[in-house]
Amino acid sequence: MELSDVQADITKVLYTEQELQERLAVLARRIETDYEGKELLLVAVLKGAVMVLSDLARELKFHAHMDFMAVSSYGASTQSSGVVRIVKDLDADIAGRHVLIVEDIIDSGLTLNWLIGNLQSRGPASIEVCAMLRKPDAVKEPVDVKYLGFDIPNEFVVGYGLDFAEDYRNIRGVAVLAPHVYGGEDPHA
Ligand code: XMP
Ligand code: MG
């Protein structure tokens, strides 16, 4: 879907597909330099990160292996609690490997910090983070993000993998969701 297909549901376009691709290309060049001669394993957390992962992987000029994890937050709170349960673990043993976690968005940072700790305990050769978006005003636990796309305002955004109630993931761009779409609900649910 194009951003224009959901015009009535969004208040502001943050990034078009082209802007996202151009930024990803810049990050890919840095990643190519940093991992030259090394074997890179891209790890994405389902489902939001699949768009970033597929675009980043294809932009890279060397072989990059991919693996996936699915996690869910414990507790009744709709906000990220930082207490995480693994729903689907990695297929690969990451001991001794160079791992790059690929994320769609860093909000509070709680989920990602938990993930870094979990993967670190498996003895990788290195572990770094590439995130397309970050909300600096929402961060509760700072995360060391080596490759960052853009810092964005603390508003609920959709598109390019990011959803509201599973909708809007397949939009070719990132936009702020209009409040009338989520009504009184907490959009982070
Ligand atoms: P943390 O633990 O960093 O959680 O608070 C990050 C996860 O929360 C979701 N999230 C969003 N999803 N638009 C979305 O569609 C947003 O603006 C947004 N902010 C956070 C997302 O799943 C992310 O991985
Ligand atoms: Mg979500």
Mean pLDDT of the chain: 94
Alpha-carbon span 131 to 106, nearest angstrom: 7
Q: What percent of the chain has pLDDT over 70?
A: 93
Does residue 146 fall inside a structural domain?
yes
For residue 73, what pLDDT is reported? Answer: 75
Domain residues for the domain of 138 are: 18-152
Characterize the bridge pairing of strands 173-177 and 157-158.
antiparallel
For this structure, is 144 an active site residue? no
Does residue 108 fall inside a structural domain?
yes
Element (H, E) at 57: helix 50-59
Residues in CB range of 118: below 8 A, 6 or more apart: 84, 86
Residue minimizing CA distance to atom 21 of ligand 1: 105
ipTM of this complex prediction, to 2 decimal places: 0.90
What's this model's pTM, rounded to 2 decimal places? 0.94
Q: Is the CB of 73 under 6 A from ligand 1?
A: no
Does residue 10 fall inside a structural domain?
no
Residue 159 region by backbone torsions, left for phi larger than 0, else alpha for psi between -120 and 50, else beta: left
CATH of residue 89: 3.40.50.2020
SS3 105: strand
Does residue 78 fall inside a structural domain?
yes
Catalytic residue among 34, 89, 104, 107: 107
Q: What are the C-alpha distances in Å from 37 to residues 31, 33, 41?
A: 12, 9, 13
Residue minimizing CA distance to atom 4 of ligand 1: 107
pLDDT band at 80 (very low <50, low <70, confident <90, very high): low
pLDDT band at 136 (very low <50, low <70, confident <90, very high): very high
In terms of pLDDT, which residue wins out, 54 or 73?
Answer: 54
